Amino acid sequence: MSDDLILRVVSKFLIPVIVLFGLYVQFHGEYGPGGGFQAGVILGSAVILYLLVFGADAAHAVVPTRWLRWQAAAGVLLYAGTGVATVLLGGNFLDYDVLANSPVAGQHLGIILIELGVMLTVSSTIALLAMLFAESPEEP
């Protein structure tokens, strides 16, 4: 399907909008419906759309699977690291209150860090699943 002009033009126009909407869902998750998991799925779907329209080789050039594996691990590390940091600062595991000077600021910071970790892991894992199902030229 990579020779279709209409699909290519519309996808080029849409993929930035999809990424922007994913970031909106990510950072709006504190105030309304949304959050890390939903934002991760939307960002991953942008990669899947690129993979479907432009082919596996172009997708591997844009987001190498090695990066995606690092990103998936980094998200989990950020999540767990926030929990360990709260323990080291004297609270329970994932007790956000101790992260900053006031409990409210601590909750803010903790939730943003946790959701960022979830977004990194979910988006890279979803993109990775689709890209491994497509033919991968360089690594198994």
Partner 1 sequence: MMLADVISAGLLGVGAAMLVIGSLGINRFPHFYSRLHAAGVVDTIASGLFLAGLAVHFGPGLVTIKLLLIFIFLLFTSPTACHALARAAYSSGLREPESEDER
Part of the chain binding partner 1 (CB under 8 A), chosen from 6-14, 36-44, 60-68, 87-95: 6-14
Q: How far is the CB of 2 from partner 1 (least distance, A)?
A: 12
Q: How far is the CB of 13 from partner 1 (least distance, A)?
A: 7
Q: Quick one: which H or E segment has residue 121?
A: helix 103-133
85, two tokens: 């940091």
Question: What mask of x and - would describe binding to partner 1 in positions 8 to 37, judged by CB under 8 A?
Answer: --x--xx--x--------------------
CA distances from 64 to 18, 22, 59, 75, 116 (A): 20, 20, 8, 17, 21
Nearer of residues 32 and 137 to partner 1, judged by Cβ: 32
Part of the chain binding partner 1 (CB under 8 A), chosen from 1-9, 69-77, 83-91, 132-140: 1-9
CA distances from 129 to 29, 72, 140 (A): 25, 12, 13
Cβ(109)–Cβ(94) below 8 Å: no
The residues binding partner 1 (CB under 8 A) are 1, 4, 6-7, 10, 13-14, 17
